[in-house]
Structure 1
Amino acid sequence: MTRLAPGPRGLPLLGSGPDLVRDLVGTFTRGWREHGDVVRFRVPGKELFLLVDPEHVKHVLADNQPIYPKDPQSVGKFEEFVGQGLFTSNGEFHFRHRRLAQPAFQGTRIAGFAPDMVAAAEDLVRDWRPLAWKESTVDIVPEMMRLALTIVMRTLFSTDVSAQAGHIAAAVRTCNAYTNLRLQRFVELPRIGPSRRRREFAAARARLDEFVYALVARRRAQGTDSSRDLLSLYLAARDEQSGYRMSDRQLRDEVVTIFLGGYETTALSLVWTFWLLARHPDVERRVRAELEHVLGGHEPTAADLPRLEYLRAVYAEALRLYPPVWTLSRTPLREDVIGGYRVPRGAQVFISPYLVHRHPGHWPDAERFDPDRFLGKRPGGWAYLPFARGPRVCPGSSIAWLEGPLVLATILRSYRLTVPPTHQVRPRSNVFLYPSGGMPMRIEEVEP
Structure 2
Amino acid sequence: MSSVHVEPVIAGAARETWLGGSLKAFREDPLALLCELHRASGDVAKFRLGPKKLYAVFNPDMLKEIMVTKAEAFCKGGTFAEIKRLTGEGLVLSEGELHKKQRRLIQPKLTRSHINRYAEQMVASTLAHLETWGDGQERDLAVDMMKITFDIIARTMFSYDSKHAQDQIARAFDSINHIATRKIRALVKLPLFIPTNENREYIQALRVLDDTVYGLIRQRKAESSLEREDLLSVLMRATDESSQEGMSDEQLRDEIMSMFLAGHETTAHSLTWTYDYILQNPNVEEKLMNEWKHVLNGRRPTVNDYPALTYTQNVIWETLRLRPSGYVTSRTALQDVEIGSLQLIKGDTVMISPYPLHTSERYFDDPLTFRPERFEQDRMKELPQMAYFPFGAGPRSCVGQHFAMLEMVLILASIGQQYRIKRSSTQGALIPEALLTLSPKGGLRATVHRL
Same fold (TM over 0.5): yes
- Once the 2 structures are TM-superposed, how far is the Cα of residue 253 of structure 1 from its aligned partner? 0.6
CA contact (8 A) 1:24 1:428 kept: no
CA contact (8 A) 1:100 1:238 kept: no
| Match in the other structure for 1:107 | 112
| Match in the other structure for 2:38 | 32
1:418 corresponds to which of 422, 425, 434:
422
1:384 corresponds to which of 375, 388, 394:
388
2:154 maps to 1:153 = yes
User: For the structure 1 residues 223 and 385, does the alpha-carbon distance in structure 2 shift closer, same or farther, using more than 3 Å as the test?
Assistant: farther
| Match in the other structure for 2:22 | 16
| Match in the other structure for 2:402 | 398
CA contact (8 A) 1:81 1:179 kept: no
| Match in the other structure for 1:121 | 126
CA deviations over 1:376-433 (Å, ceiling 9, x no partner): 4396632221111101111111210110100010111222333346602221211000
| Match in the other structure for 1:97 | 102
| Match in the other structure for 1:369 | 370
| Match in the other structure for 2:85 | 80
- Once the 2 structures are TM-superposed, how far is the Cα of residue 26 of structure 1 from its aligned partner? 2.0
| Match in the other structure for 1:54 | 60
Distance (whole Å) between structure 2 residues aligned to residue 431 and residue 244 of structure 1 = 34
Listed as ranges, the matches of 1:78-227 within 5 Å are 78-128=83-133, 130=134, 132-134=135-137, 136=138, 138-189=139-190, 193-225=194-226, 227=228
CA contact (8 A) 2:181 2:436 kept: yes
Give the fraction of aligned pairs with identical amino acids, expressed as a percent. 34
Distance (whole Å) between structure 2 residues aligned to residue 418 and residue 241 of structure 1 = 57
CA deviations over 1:230-254 (Å, ceiling 9, x no partner): 1011111223344242111100010
Distance (whole Å) between structure 1 residues aligned to residue 447 and residue 58 of structure 2 = 36
Which segment is superposed worse, 100-109 or 331-340?
Answer: 331-340
The Cα RMSD (Å) is: 2.1
Q: With structure 2 as the length reference, what TM-score do the two structures score?
A: 0.91
CA contact (8 A) 1:44 1:187 kept: no
2:333 maps to 1:332 = yes
CA contact (8 A) 2:330 2:351 kept: yes
Which runs of no fewer than 5 residues in structure 1 stay unpaired? 1-6
Distance (whole Å) between structure 2 residues aligned to residue 378 and residue 156 of structure 1 = 34
CA deviations over 1:187-213 (Å, ceiling 9, x no partner): 435677222111111111111111111
Which segment is superposed worse, 352-361 or 398-407?
Answer: 352-361
SS at 1:48's partner residue? strand
2:449 maps to 1:444 = yes
| Match in the other structure for 2:241 | 240
CA contact (8 A) 1:16 1:43 kept: yes
Which segment is superposed worse, 88-97 or 160-169?
Answer: 160-169
Which segment is superposed worse, 97-106 or 31-40?
Answer: 31-40
Which runs of no fewer than 5 residues in structure 2 stay unpaired? 1-12
